[in-house]
Amino acid sequence: MGVTHSTFTLERRYPVPVERVFEAWAQPEARKRWMASGAEHSQDFTVGGLETVKGADGEGRPLTYEARYAEIVPNERIVTTSTLRTGDVLSTASVTSVEFQSEGDETVLVLTEHGMYVPGQEKPEWREQGTAQQLDALTNEFKEA
């Protein structure tokens, strides 16, 4: 069985201006809350910078996600290349774009990921579901205190 190649696109609408959504992506404290809750997280939000999330899967195996920022256009677009490893074994390699579009007082976020999934590791539908849950959790960043 060979490497599986898959692409998915997710769209979300947030009830705040683009600048607030982009900031929630760019600020390490905010990003950890909605993307890496309960995990070890570091983020260098610069072109060429690295974001790392270390946690565990449901079976307790160590997971490491690393993303390198290939492009950052403030309030417009973020492009990353990333890997996910289970222990020392590569599970996925991906290229992801996140686009921020203003519609009045709201933001439409469009995330597209092109992934390669190693046999016996992660599946495209698992990755899409996990990413969708993270984007849904991002909504909590915009609730009034």
Cα-based distances in Å from 14 to 35, 40, 57, 113, 133: 16, 26, 29, 20, 14
Cα separation, 82 vs 15, in Å, equals 29
| Cβ contact 56:62 at 8 Å | yes
- Residue 132 per-residue DSSP state: H
Per-residue model confidence as pLDDT tens digits over 110-132: 999 999 999 888 889 999 999 99
Place of tokens 């692409």: 7
Domains of the chain with bracketed CATH: 4-142 (3.30.530.20)
Per-residue model confidence as pLDDT tens digits over 36-50: 988 999 999 999 999
pTM: 0.92
